[in-house]
Amino acid sequence: MQPFEMVMNPKQVFFSVLIFGVAGLLLFMYLQVWIEEQHTGWGPMKYLQPVPRIMSTEKIQEHITNQNPKFHMPEDVREKKENLLLNSERSTRVLTKTSYSQGGDQALSKSTGSPTEKWRIEKHQGAKTVFNKFSNMHWPVDIHPLNKSLVKDNKWKKTDEIQEKRRSFLQEFCKKYGGVSHHQSHLFHTVSRIYVEDKHKILYCEVPKAGCSNWKRILMVLNGLASSAYNISHDAVHYGKHLKKLDSFDLKGIYTRLNTYTKAVFVRDPMERLVSAFRDKFKHPNSYYHPVFGKAIIKKYRPNACEEALINGSGVRFKEFIHYLLDSHRPVGMDIHWEKVSKLCYPCLINYDFVGKFETLEEDANYFLQMIGAPKELKFPNFKDRHSSDERTNAQVVRQYLKDLTRTERQLIYDFYYLDYLMFNYTTPFL
């Protein structure tokens, strides 16, 4: 080998530097996007997540599970882990479907879709194709008539009529505002809030603050994981890892279940759900929501906050919380407890067979249990397992909280939850 072959001429040096520079820049941009995603909660920018090609879904699940020893932690810390887990799930398991987000979401929601978000979407159009993996699954999932062969009792007639009305109402809504076929969304993300009960073939999409703890208890009983819903602790329900989520299955497992199981979602008046979430997380000591959300909210929305409040993050006022919620530049991301149902459960993509409401929870739930052939003695529990001495959030309580807000703020909350209001036929007396 001759020496001159080892030495680069200036032209080669220039190109090497250029190539390294460009590669570095790309890596930097990629990492920045990835880090942002880790911090922004439910953003539309899930495209850039690398798919670890050598890992199967099960492997990844195992990997995440192993990294998440939630068992012996205090409750609030575990709650935090749960949220972090959501993020890590999104960063490792990515799959795309032929729909970007809930049908009509972009067209309809007025208060989301900030310029930054739109810019990000555009920015990633190119990159996403690299990581996309399409499958032949048709969205939305087909809708089937409810199988009522197991309901013998006449007393469910009224409940059933209401149920059929809600189903067709939602279906009509989705047809009208559908327009989902041109967008991208992630299958695993879309089904990540859905719990699976294989024995009775049920899928239940978890909506926090709408009776989900008791639903999870029921699913555990149905699955044979507990003998009674009444003695399963709050922690066992939320951190026990007894129930499987739909995104822990492989593609085939997901599609089969989506198309053959009875899919249920239980919703609640958006304003009530919001106030309920606020009371639960900010009106009681909480070692996750106060330091993480409380601190950031007080810092940004309370002028002249005292030192102590800035440090402990306690005592967030409802108005401050609303300013955070409505801010398109939130200092901390969204959270499942106040996230829209349209973004948690994707009702127009999943086509739920059963739409329950918190307002008629026991009735709806017990009818559902009949329908799926649950043991006769199994009834939906009616207890409130946290802060049980507090009054339940009802219309009266909501009215008190809304007194602190201006009419404009109330209107903006309505706009924020607009899709939830429309899909589930809720109206508000507060405007």
Rg, Å, the chain Cα set? 24
Q: Is the dihedral of CA 182, 104, 341, 284 positive or negative?
A: positive
Q: Which is nearer to ligand NAG, 34 or 169 (CB)?
A: 169
Long-range contacts of 297-305 (CB under 8 A, 24+ apart): 297/321, 297/323, 297/324, 297/331, 297/332, 299/331, 300/324, 300/327, 300/331
Please, what is the minimum distance in Å from the beta carbon of residue 427 to ligand NAG? 6
Please, what is the minimum distance in Å from the beta carbon of residue 325 to ligand NAG? 22
Crossing angle for the helix pair 10-39 and 75-92, to the nearest 10 degrees = 140
Q: Which is nearer to ligand NAG, 122 or 377 (CB)?
A: 377
Exposure on the CB side of residue 394, measured as CA atoms within 13 A: 6
* Segments in 179-242 forming alpha helices (H): 187-190, 212-222, 234-239
Residues that bind ligand NAG (CB under 6 A): 147, 149-150, 165-166, 169, 227-228, 231, 285, 306, 308-309, 312, 314-315, 373, 425, 427
Q: Which is nearer to ligand NAG, 296 or 326 (CB)?
A: 296
Q: Which of 393, 394, 428 is nearest to 412 (CA)?
A: 428
Cβ neighbourhood burial of 308 (10 Å; 0-12, 13-18, 19+): exposed
Please, what is the minimum distance in Å from the beta carbon of residue 134 to ligand NAG? 30
Please, what is the minimum distance in Å from the beta carbon of residue 180 to ligand NAG? 22
Please, what is the minimum distance in Å from the beta carbon of residue 376 to ligand NAG? 15
Please, what is the minimum distance in Å from the beta carbon of residue 149 to ligand NAG? 4
Q: Which is nearer to ligand NAG, 39 or 144 (CB)?
A: 144
Provide the b/e sequence for 214-252 (b: ≥16 CB within 10 Å).
bbbbbbbbbbeebeebeebeeebbbbbeebbbbbbbeee
Q: Which is nearer to ligand NAG, 132 or 425 (CB)?
A: 425
Please, what is the minimum distance in Å from the beta carbon of residue 66 to ligand NAG? 26
Which H or E element spans position 336? Answer: none
Please, what is the minimum distance in Å from the beta carbon of residue 374 to ligand NAG? 12
Which H or E element spans position 271? Answer: helix 270-282
Residue nearest to ligand NAG (CB): 308
Q: Which is nearer to ligand NAG, 121 or 298 (CB)?
A: 298
Please tell me whether the peptide bond between 291 and the residue prior to it is cis, using omega within 30 degrees of 0.
Answer: no
